[in-house]
Amino acid sequence: MLLTKFKNRFGPDIIFTHWMLYFKSLRSFLYKKLGRYGMNLDIRPYVTIVGTNNVEIGDNITIRPYTSIYADNDEGKKVIIGNDVLIGPNVYMTVSNHNYQNKNIPIKSQGYTFKDIIICDGAWIGYGAIILPGVIIGKHAVVAAGSVVTKNVPDYTVVGGVPAKVIKKI
């Protein structure tokens, strides 16, 4: 029962998965939980991934410490990370959001909406950025540190702020 509960996740709250991230030779056992992963994947200690089967990661990716990816859902919504993406530490991504249509019902009782997150090839996600459901980060786009991305980011664009807005074109 306990192993089933943690089958689709890994991170520092699950001791046997967390210490495996310290040893490159053991990381491949965790990577097999992912929906898909490419060559040269490096997930650092203190990364949390929930809904591993709904996470697809391309080639040449390093996911820095304290990053959290939440893709746990029964609708098949995914976090898809392309090739050669830079992900800074402490980044947060989630495919789910609470519904809130009726003010007479507690938000926690109104269910969730799920949408994919796609990060295209060559993008750079800065320290502490938050990527919300339904967002597509374009090819070679840059998300500045501390940004909250609520809308799609065009290719070759730098965005920053809360909520993230276009700062410049590359």
Q: Choose, from 7, 36, 98, 165, the residue flagged as catalytic.
A: 98
Per the document, the length of the chain is: 170
Instruction: Scan for tokens 């898809």, then name that residue.
Output: 80
Confidence of residue 21 (pLDDT cuts 50, 70, 90): confident
Tell whether the torsion through CA atoms of 55, 61, 62 and 66 is positive or negative: negative
Q: If you write DSSP's letter for every residue of 81-125 in order, what string do you get?
A: E-SS-EE-TT-EEESEEE----TTS-GGGS-EEE--EEE-TT-EE
Q: Please, what is the average pLDDT of the chain?
A: 92
Confidence of residue 6 (pLDDT cuts 50, 70, 90): low
Tell me the per-residue pLDDT of 37-89, one tens digit each, with 9 for 90 and over. Answer: 999 999 998 999 999 999 999 999 999 999 999 999 999 999 999 999 999 99
The whole-number pLDDT of residue 92 equals 98
Domain boundaries, the chain: 2-169
Is the per-residue pLDDT at 13 higher than 90? Answer: no
How far is it between the farthest Cα atoms of the chain? 53
Q: Is the pTM of this model over 0.85?
A: yes
98 is catalytic: yes
Tell me the per-residue pLDDT of 142-154, one tens digit each, with 9 for 90 and over. Answer: 999 999 999 999 9
The whole-number pLDDT of residue 1 equals 38
Confidence of residue 2 (pLDDT cuts 50, 70, 90): very low
Q: Do 141 and 154 touch, CB atoms closer than 8 A? A: yes
Fold of the 2-169 domain: UDP N-Acetylglucosamine Acyltransferase; domain 1 (2.160.10)
Residues near 166 by Cβ (< 8 Å), separated by ≥ 6? 154, 157, 158, 159
More confident residue, 126 or 6: 126
CB atoms within 10 A of CB 164: 24
Stretch 137-142: mean pLDDT: 98
Q: Do 55 and 78 touch, CB atoms closer than 8 A? A: yes
The whole-number pLDDT of residue 91 equals 98
Q: What is the DSSP letter of 164?
A: T
